[in-house]
A and B are shown apart, each in its own frame.
Chain A
């Protein structure tokens, strides 16, 4: 990776690292985290329009329609104005449920990611268009063809965020049902990606694997970037190894400096073990950014955002998800329920972030934690909601300083930012934060090229 691109500012005189960052740096400035990793000192931003979640506030007058074309168009235009490398869409193949009923309290329902991105390709010029698409409930040739179509329609700006959700509950919407053992999700994904790669290269495919029998012929020309950029979101050791072998970019959940530094080391190790150049695997943690002019205002704003994100009903529903029983009789302003959970594990029906928690242990720990901190149900749920995300909050300047440090350490290659408001949620990031990052020399002043690969600093394929 080069940092001499003419579109990038030269770094100004370096400030000393903070004590926290200095403690994490185990090597010289050229390789602070790992001898095999050289930080680029640059950040790339993605805008993650998650679509279905509890972080997007829907109850304000400024909350836009979650399905309307105008919302997507407005957000992608702001992101492109801010030279974001990518616009991301999430995916969930079954409507989230809570106690057997579609979950009513969060934003629900969104358009198909790739169909939407194909349309957005027509109103944008440089920004990458990344669709989260599942390997378990798609057919590899069909998905590969759709991704290549998007890549061609956008002039080489397509990306695929590979996810492996395999539960049988989601499978109820698909031909094969819940056919895949959870342990095999990445074996299956690897075969899937292999078939997709063959299709993109225009090869004759004759694949007889454990999970697919496919006969096909790649038929489309290569795009300006060769083939779609591969993102991977999945944090388990198997997921990391899969990413190290396969992915160009990892969409990680590790947003604190310490967690990000450890994750970088882990990925560098795995990438080297897989025989790849660690510079070819970028890491973009998911992030939420809450900014204001001063620290005090930012603190106040964070509280207000959490209040809007998590109401009393959602706080009770959060606990019900892990207790597995009706807790509506409990006062949201009172202590956590003193009743035992009715399930052994939390289910999959509220989305990937919730699954497989050991209920007995978790609910006990939570009760102790809330008692110790003197938190009510509502206060506890709001604190948990904040803790779930990689959150950057503070004044424009402090957040810019902090991100500069992430870049200098090479802990991350950028952020995948989930706006808490649609469609205006990127405005202050683009107008206030990005100019400060540009001044600090860690954010590009313009797009490096016309393809997503170029704008992420990835080698052509």
Chain B
């Protein structure tokens, strides 16, 4: 989108005004457990989520096993109190507007515990469900990055104080505090603003699992808020092995700031939209949970041991949003005067 957008500032989606934390103060990754949204999960879903939360797990990622991951995450929101909720969903064979709306709604109803584990679909059968032919890898990556930028623009299209409820003037919402998104990407366009007011976190954290990196492409990786390290439980992972993997991953991360320099596709590096610390490992995700056996036993032990070794972040506390727990600064609202939603009125007033 950065090369095709009609509007120069439309590519300018990620918050950059905040200084990246130094390596020393970089927070520990949050431990997440991946649940595959299979219908078999239904009966014990709420109990499992609460048990994992009790065990000190910091976040759940919801991978697609049939039930829609965003709805499953939403369902769990009022049934849990502190655990982060990150659906792992496709950015390509979707309506960007619906996807952004659903994710920001999840953030509202979870009181700021929502995130997005972005993936870029490459399965032709999924493309066929929406009547499309699967894209090649380059086009897949382009579209994923465009959709990510569009989602962020939509999330940022209402100022935090846009709902004014000013009884004296009869004004519920101030259009000067809303902005269009005006996205003209290669394969879609979106006018905006969002139909949902700004969510508690403003911009949801967007993370990218290492396994999803190839399809999602460089531009998405640079613009994501961080990496996800996957540890597979199905092969009988020991605490020692897990600890080694996490130490390696944390050590391999380049110094903060250096990751933003790869913006070759962009005209203006200052306007790159790259996240300040996209290469940081923000989430350690346990995948391959065996629902038939005793998943919790393994997870609770792993969580306690990794935490006592100082390799993962403390258990989440209620009221703390997911950005904070992941070590991301609050997302500032960024108003672009050219996209102000009251521009039609301004130009009427000018010509009058």
Contacts and interface: CB of A to CB of B under 8 A. Distances in A.
Contacts, number: 178
Interface stretch (B193-201, B212-220, B234-242, B279-287): B193-201
A119 B344 CA distance: 38
A109 B95 contact: no
A427 B94 CA distance: 40
A295 interface: no
A7 interface: no
Q: Lowest 5 CB-CB distances: which A-B pairs, in order?
A: A100-B344, A215-B128, A111-B105, A313-B170, A118-B71
Interface string A91-110: 01111000111101111111
Interface of B: 39, 42, 46, 66-68, 70-72, 74-79, 94-98, 101-102, 104-106, 108-109, 111, 125, 128-131, 158, 163, 165, 167, 169-175, 178, 187-197, 341-342, 344-345, 348
A153 B72 contact: yes
B196 A67 contact: yes
A121 interface: yes
Interface of A: 58-59, 63, 66-69, 72-73, 92-95, 99-102, 104-112, 114-116, 118-123, 137-139, 141-142, 145-146, 149-150, 152-153, 172-175, 177, 212-216, 219-221, 311-314, 326
B345 A101 contact: yes
Given A72-B109, A101-B175, A145-B68, 18 more contacts: A58-B165, A58-B172, A67-B108, A99-B348, A102-B341, A104-B172, A105-B172, A122-B77, A123-B78, A152-B39, A153-B75, A173-B97, A174-B95, A174-B97, A174-B190, A175-B95, A220-B39, A326-B348
6 contacts: A69-B78, A115-B70, A118-B74, A122-B46, A173-B190, A174-B190
Contact of B129 (A101, A141, A174, A314): A141
A94 B195 contact: yes
Given A149-B71, A153-B75, A219 B66 contact: yes
Instruction: Give the dominant DSSP class at A's interface.
Output: loop
B175 A213 contact: no
B131 A112 contact: no
Given A101-B345, A212-B131, A108 B173 contact: yes
A111 B197 CA distance: 8
A157 B106 CA distance: 20
Contacts of A105: 170-172
A218 to B, nearest CB: 10
A120 B196 CA distance: 18
A106 B169 contact: no
A176 B350 CA distance: 34
Contacts of A106: 172
A92 B66 CA distance: 27
A115 B109 contact: yes
